[in-house]
Amino acid sequence: MDSTIVAAVEKLKSGGVVVLPTETVYGLAANALDSDAVEKIFKIKGRPHSDPLILHVLNKEWLQRFSEYKAYANRVDKIVEKFWPGPVTVVLQKKNIIPDCVTSNLSTVAIRCPRHEIFRKILKLVNFPLAAPSANPFGYVSPTSVDQVKQTLGDLVNVIVDGGKCDIGLESTIVDLTSETVKVLRPGAITAQKISDAIDEPVIDYSSGVVSVNPKCPGQLKQHYCTNTKLVLFEHGGQPDILTEFSGKAAVIFNKRPLDCADGISGENVQGKDVFWFSETGDRYEIARNMFGLLQNLDNSGYDVIFCEKPEIHGLGVAINDRLLRAAAKFSSKQNEQASI
Ligand code: TXA
Ligand code: MG
């Protein structure tokens, strides 16, 4: 067996913290049933204790062990059948076996069943659920590659398992199944419409292009995923307002390769600004996959400002837009106002 997998299993069994790949983003994992181990996650991330963690399980049988499944069996069964293992997290009433620090003293727990083979193998070997937030310092860009993790947490975690670049690149969709009407608390690759179709019920979508302040999801902060470099969004299909906004060293990111860069490479200087794109063609899945990586890369490249085109707010574009609005919120009072609607 791969030696880093063996090292990760040993570390987890002895109450340590490791970085593991998932299909969404890299996670910072510890034994969810061991509050001392979970405390280490909060410390390493600099995460406030008011922000609960997701419990990662191997299958539905584990979900039944850690949550009050029966009250929502109908909804859970349909979601599990359709989307698990995969990027949907369900919020259910918790069982007391889960330490309060995992759930920030809430009566509910968020449970996810990742589909990444390495993560699943490690769950099987340790045979306990893993608490795992994204493997980034609190509030910073989420990691979709080992390089991104090493740049920020490399000195704090010594077992980092490389599972390649994350397939999806955006965190899981979080769905609250405990209320009368199901709610999407965080948009992700599985859209609210897909959830609604799967359970055959209407779904309240807290994520249609605006960032909601929602007490049921304490970690959903207006500002999140933030670069240190100033990030300014511009409209989809438009151009950045560079002259009025700024005159320093600027990077501009488009959703797809712009026409005036037909032969160039991403990063080329065009009329005084370095031009990048998330995707050759504008494919939303490619944009999502490349987004956090490019943002972090440019954050480390000495720019005074990063201008970034908004996505089309449709399908996966809802989740991309959600992340970009939060990432830019700290830099713009206008975007802040939008984000607090
Ligand atoms: O894709 C993902 O979900 C990744 C990978 C690593 O699995 N994990 C992730 O975890 O994004 P984190 O900690 O970065 O985000 C977890 C979110 C937080 O916003 C938190 O507020 C919310 O889940 N959450 C956790 N427990 C909750 C609960 N009981 N009710 C509502 N929201 C909850
Ligand atoms: Mg996170």
Cα distance between residue 64 and residue 15, in whole Å: 24
Cα distance between residue 259 and residue 323, in whole Å: 26
Q: Is the CB of 52 under 6 A from ligand 1?
A: yes
pLDDT surpasses 70 at 210: no
Provide the residue range defining the domain that includes 114.
3-204
Q: How many domains does the chain have?
A: 2
Give the residue, out of 84, 89, 326, with the most ligand 1 atoms within 8 A of its beta carbon, to mutate for a pocket test: 89
Both 253 and 144 in a single domain? no
pLDDT tens digits, one per residue of 57-114: 999 999 999 999 999 999 999 999 999 999 999 999 999 999 999 999 999 999 999 9
Ligand 1 atom with the smallest distance to the CA of 109 is 29
pLDDT at 15: 98
Q: Which of 151, 78, 153, 88 is nearest to 115 (CA)?
A: 88
Residue 58 lies in a domain: yes
CATH no. for residue 10? 3.90.870.10
Both 308 and 161 in a single domain? no
pLDDT at 339: 40
Taking CA atoms only, the protein residue closest to ligand 1 atom 30 is 217
Q: Is the CB of 25 under 6 A from ligand 1?
A: yes
Residue 119 vs residue 263, higher pLDDT: 119
pLDDT surpasses 70 at 214: no
Give the residue, out of 174, 182, 183, 323, with the most ligand 1 atoms within 8 A of its beta carbon, to mutate for a pocket test: 174
Q: Is the CB of 188 under 6 A from ligand 1?
A: no
Ligand 1 atom with the smallest distance to the CA of 27 is 6
Residue 38 lies in a domain: yes
Both 13 and 158 in a single domain? yes
Q: What are the phi and psi torsion angles at 38 (to 5°)? A: -65, -35
pLDDT surpasses 50 at 212: no
Both 125 and 179 in a single domain? yes
Return the DSSP state at 132: -
Residue 166 lies in a domain: yes
Stretch among 8-12, 45-49, 82-86, 271-275 having the lowest mean pLDDT: 271-275
Both 32 and 104 in a single domain? yes
User: Which H helix or E strand runs over 41?
Assistant: helix 35-45
For helices 284-299 and 146-153, what crossing angle results, to 10°? Answer: 30
Contact assessment for residue 87 and residue 79, using Cβ atoms and an 8 Å cutoff:
no
pLDDT at 334: 53
Helices and strands (H and E) in the chain: how many: 12, 14
Q: Is the CB of 133 under 6 A from ligand 1?
A: yes
pLDDT at 225: 83
pLDDT tens digits, one per residue of 148-187: 999 999 999 999 999 999 999 999 999 999 999 999 999 9
pLDDT at 222: 72
Q: Is the CB of 27 under 6 A from ligand 1?
A: yes
Cα distance between residue 293 and residue 153, in whole Å: 15
* Ligand 2 centroid from CA 262, angstroms: 35
Name the one residue in this structure whose structure tokens are 């005074």: 304
- Ligand nearest to C-alpha 20: 1
Both 180 and 280 in a single domain? no
Q: How confident is the model at residue 247 (pLDDT cuts 50, 70, 90)?
A: low
Contact assessment for residue 236 and residue 309, using Cβ atoms and an 8 Å cutoff:
yes
Ligand 1 atom with the smallest distance to the CA of 188 is 1
pLDDT at 56: 98
Residue 15 lies in a domain: yes
Both 70 and 152 in a single domain? yes
Name the one residue in this structure whose structure tokens are 């860069």: 261
Cα distance between residue 323 and residue 186, in whole Å: 10
Both 123 and 265 in a single domain? no
Name the one residue in this structure whose structure tokens are 């090292």: 7
pLDDT tens digits, one per residue of 255-313: 999 988 878 788 888 877 899 999 999 999 999 999 999 999 999 999 999 999 999 99
**pLDDT cut 90: percent of the chain above it:** 80
Q: In this structure, what token pair is assigned to residue 131?
A: 């608490």
Taking CA atoms only, the protein residue closest to ligand 1 atom 13 is 133
pLDDT surpasses 80 at 223: no
Q: Is the CB of 132 under 6 A from ligand 1?
A: yes
The residue from 158, 188, 204 where one domain ends is 204
Residue 252 lies in a domain: yes
Name the one residue in this structure whose structure tokens are 């209320």: 179
pLDDT surpasses 60 at 20: yes
Cα distance between residue 253 and residue 210, in whole Å: 21
Q: Which of 46, 218, 52 is nearest to 136 (CA)?
A: 46
Taking CA atoms only, the protein residue closest to ligand 1 atom 12 is 133
CATH no. for residue 275? 3.40.50.11030
Both 334 and 242 in a single domain? yes
Both 193 and 260 in a single domain? no
- Ligand nearest to C-alpha 220: 1
Radius of gyration of the chain (CA): 20
